Amino acid sequence: MIYLAGPLSGDRERNVTDAVAVYFQLVRAGQVPFCPHLGALHPAAFDIDYETWMRFDFAVIDCCDAVLMLDRWQTSAGAVREHEYALLMGKRVVYDVKELL
């Protein structure tokens, strides 16, 4: 499974659209991606506090084989934390989707 780490807040529509496009690109290639951005499409997601989401994301990263850092990930405090966590846990961190296709 591949965790997609990238910005969500800020330009939410662009960030979700971009992440979901990569998600489907990986699905079509036979990969099993996990896209946390999909949850942001439901209003109930905003009833859950940020740190709870981060704990959830770290638990999912624990189950993944790799973490793909999406475009503009450095602009997101959460994605930076996910990057650091993945490296700490010895996960494969990839910076270009082409490495996974």
Q: How confident is the model at residue 45 (pLDDT cuts 50, 70, 90)?
A: confident
- Count: domains in the chain: 1
Q: How confident is the model at residue 41 (pLDDT cuts 50, 70, 90)?
A: confident
Whole-model pTM: value is 0.95
pLDDT for the residue 46: 83
Q: How confident is the model at residue 68 (pLDDT cuts 50, 70, 90)?
A: very high
Q: Which two tokens stand for residue 52?
A: 């709870």
pLDDT for the residue 55: 97
CATH of the domain at 75: 3.40.50.10400
Mean pLDDT (whole number) for 22-33: 98
pLDDT for the residue 15: 96
For residue 36, the one-letter residue type is: P
Q: Which domain, by its residues, includes 82?
A: 2-100
